[in-house]
């Protein structure tokens, strides 16, 4: 078994990703299916919202200046000539000494400029007594007060929230151009693997990577399709990779990515397309790689589950997010905290160290083996030790990338 002769630095892999990975095209999607999708175009309001002046209160529409001396003792008297209801055209015009009973949301009738609240009035047959001076324009929602015509309501790149769908409805959008989601094939390989959901017998292990990768891809806005687990059968794996490269935007392959006799993946990718990177100065994901088959990106993820997660976090995740028009940055929350004890690393490679956060201090987890996926379950997050450092001393302030969106307890 031969090792890697040279390992590419993490920053060079990331630079290659920036150069080679492009945002996917936009596709039209019905408005109601766009929550969580990335807007592909700027949206402008074609018309003002609301498109008419409207009552903001239940009461009486009239000419506000006529109420200027009104008090409880000296009410101003108006003749009610009709009513205005939301969604109905009121064809009356309010003249001097006249008023129209109006409900919230109704278009303000012609001639009126003010709404007096119903609480400030007394009604007697056709007559309305106004008991309170009401300034001109009071309780009227102006045309365009919500959204002025021609303003940009949402910019391209926006990850649409439920309330954005409301605003898009208001400006008349029925179909929205959103960035196509990255289609991601997940192929885990290894003779020892069985599909998750069964307890493995002797010499077998459950495929831990497919389920984890599927969830990561969904989190990053991609659409995963699980192809494996596949046995270490070169022809079979080659055929599945070739097939996946036809429909997928990214193919993720876990296992068989190193330099041993059963590590078929690098050779297959080189045959089908180009293997640009094989071997990265990153612990615990040294046997990672990156290539292309046609326009499809292929990421080689080491089979060890922690290595697989690490390689996804560093390389696959940014690709899925960039293709989908999302920020390439980690979707983890950074927190700056002191180390409880030294964090040892080796200069020349990047380290992905799982840590716990206890009482405001960062505790490196003793188990650093790449096969111990439960170390990531016990961890609150990870610290990245850059290639030029051989670690951090106790009490050094480090950035913890929290796996959860919520602060850890303890």
**Minimum distance of Mg ion from residue 303's CB (angstroms):** 5
Tell me how far apart the alpha carbons of residues 359 and 116 are, in angstroms, rounded to a whole number.
Answer: 58
| Closest to Mg ion by CB, 16 or 196 | 196
| Closest to ligand AMP by CB, 103 or 368 | 368
| Closest to ligand AMP by CB, 49 or 300 | 300
* Residue 280 contact among Mg ion, ligand AMP, none, beta carbon within 5 to 8 Å by kind: none
State the alpha helices, DSSP H only, in 221-367: 234-247, 265-272, 305-311, 317-323
The answer to whether 190 contacts Mg ion (rule: CB under 5 A) is: yes
The answer to whether 255 contacts Mg ion (rule: CB under 5 A) is: yes
The span of 54-62, 223-231, 248-256, 272-280 binding Mg ion (CB under 5 A) equals 248-256
- How many CB atoms are located within 10 Å of the residue 83 CB? 16
* Residue 27 contact among ligand AMP, Mg ion, none, beta carbon within 5 to 8 Å by kind: none
| Closest to Mg ion by CB, 26 or 230 | 230
Is the Cα torsion angle 206, 210, 211, 212 positive or negative in sign?
positive
| Closest to Mg ion by CB, 190 or 222 | 190
**Minimum distance of Mg ion from residue 190's CB (angstroms):** 4
**Minimum distance of Mg ion from residue 353's CB (angstroms):** 25
Residues lying near ligand AMP in the complex (CB under 6 A): 188, 190, 192-193, 205, 207-209, 254-258, 302-305, 371
The bridge status of strand 397-402 relative to strand 381-385 is antiparallel
Tell me the residue nearest to ligand AMP as measured from the CB.
Answer: 303
Please list, in sequence order, all residues whose beta carbon lies within 8 angstroms of the beta carbon of residue 143, skipping any fewer than 6 positions away. 48, 50, 51, 52, 53
**Minimum distance of ligand AMP from residue 193's CB (angstroms):** 5
**Minimum distance of Mg ion from residue 240's CB (angstroms):** 15
Tell me how far apart the alpha carbons of residues 255 and 299 are, in angstroms, rounded to a whole number.
Answer: 11
| Closest to ligand AMP by CB, 190 or 364 | 190
| Closest to Mg ion by CB, 84 or 300 | 300
Q: Cα–Cα distances in Å, from 340 out to 352, 357, 369? A: 17, 9, 21
**Minimum distance of ligand AMP from residue 275's CB (angstroms):** 16
Tokens, residue 46:
């074609």
* Residue 313 contact among ligand AMP, Mg ion, none, beta carbon within 5 to 8 Å by kind: none
| Closest to Mg ion by CB, 16 or 205 | 205
* Residue 67 contact among ligand AMP, Mg ion, none, beta carbon within 5 to 8 Å by kind: none
Q: Cα–Cα distances in Å, from 180 out to 6, 9, 325, 370? A: 36, 31, 8, 34
**Minimum distance of Mg ion from residue 260's CB (angstroms):** 8
| Closest to ligand AMP by CB, 109 or 256 | 256
Tokens, residue 294:
């046609």
DSSP string of 22-64, one letter each residue: -PPPEEEEEGGG-TTSBB-S-EE-SS-BSSS-EESSSEEEE-G
DSSP string of 237-277, one letter each residue: HHHHHHHHHHH-SEEEEES--SSSTT--HHHHHHHHSEEEE
Query: 60 and 121 in contact (C-beta within 8 Å)?
Result: yes
Tell me how far apart the alpha carbons of residues 54 and 114 are, in angstroms, rounded to a whole number.
Answer: 10
**Minimum distance of ligand AMP from residue 273's CB (angstroms):** 20
Place of tokens 């050094």: 396
**Minimum distance of Mg ion from residue 237's CB (angstroms):** 11
| Closest to Mg ion by CB, 20 or 238 | 238
The answer to whether 287 contacts Mg ion (rule: CB under 5 A) is: no
Please choose, from the candidates 397, 385, 386, the residue with its C-alpha nearest in 3D space to the C-alpha of residue 360: 397
Query: 49 and 144 in contact (C-beta within 8 Å)?
Result: yes
108 to 147: interface string for Mg ion, x by CB under 5 A: ----------------------------------------
Is the Cα torsion angle 337, 342, 346, 348 positive or negative in sign?
positive
* Residue 192 contact among Mg ion, ligand AMP, none, beta carbon within 5 to 8 Å by kind: ligand AMP
**Minimum distance of Mg ion from residue 263's CB (angstroms):** 7
The answer to whether 229 contacts Mg ion (rule: CB under 5 A) is: no
By CB under 5 A, the residues from 297 to 326 that bind Mg ion are: 303
Which residues of the shown chain bind Mg ion in the complex (CB under 5 A)? 190, 255-256, 303
């Amino acid at each position: 078994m031969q090792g890697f002769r040279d390992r590419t630095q993490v920053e060079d892999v990331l630079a290659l990703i920036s150069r080679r990975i492009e945002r996917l095209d936009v596709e039209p999607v019905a408005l109601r299916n766009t929550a969580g999708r990335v807007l592909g175009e700027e949206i402008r309001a074609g018309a003002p919202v609301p498109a008419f002046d409207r009552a903001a209160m239940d009461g009486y529409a009239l000419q506000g200046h006529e109420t200027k001396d009104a008090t409880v003792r000296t009410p101003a008297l108006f003749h009610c000539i009709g009513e205005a209801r939301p969604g109905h055209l009121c064809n009356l015009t309010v003249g001097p000494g006249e008023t129209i009973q109006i409900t919230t949301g109704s278009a303000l009738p012609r001639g009126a400029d003010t709404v007096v609240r119903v609480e400030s009035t007394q009604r007697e047959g056709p007559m309305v007594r106004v008991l309170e001076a009401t300034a001109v324009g009071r309780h009227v929602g102006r045309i365009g007060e919500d959204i002025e015509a021609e303003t940009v309501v949402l910019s391209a790149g926006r990850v649409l929230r439920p309330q954005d769908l409301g605003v898009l409805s208001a400006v008349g959008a029925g179909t929205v151009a959103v960035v196509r989601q990255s289609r991601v094939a997940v192929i885990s390989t290894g003779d020892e693997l069985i599909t998750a959901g069964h307890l493995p017998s002797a010499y077998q292990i459950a495929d831990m990577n497919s389920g984890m990768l599927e969830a990561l891809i969904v989190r990053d806005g991609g659409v995963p399709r699980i192809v494996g687990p596949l046995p270490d059968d070169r022809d079979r794996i080659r055929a599945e990779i070739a097939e996946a490269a036809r429909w997928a935007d990214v193919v993720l392959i876990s296992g068989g990515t190193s330099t041993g006799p059963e590590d078929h993946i690098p050779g297959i990718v080189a045959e089908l397309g180009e293997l640009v990177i094989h071997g990265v100065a990153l612990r615990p994901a040294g046997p990672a790689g990156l290539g292309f088959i046609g326009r499809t990106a292929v990421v080689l993820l080491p089979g060890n589950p922690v290595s697989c997660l690490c390689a996804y976090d560093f390389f696959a995740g940014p690709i899925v997010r960039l293709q989908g028009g999302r920020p390439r940055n980690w979707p983890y929350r950074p927190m700056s905290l002191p180390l409880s004890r030294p964090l040892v690393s080796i200069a020349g490679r990047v380290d992905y160290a799982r840590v716990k956060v206890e009482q405001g201090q960062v505790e490196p987890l003793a188990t650093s083996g790449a096969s111990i996926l439960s170390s990531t379950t016990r961890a609150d997050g990870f610290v990245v030790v850059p290639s030029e450092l051989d670690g951090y001393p106790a009490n050094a302030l480090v950035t913890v990338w929290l796996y959860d969106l919520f602060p850890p307890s303890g």
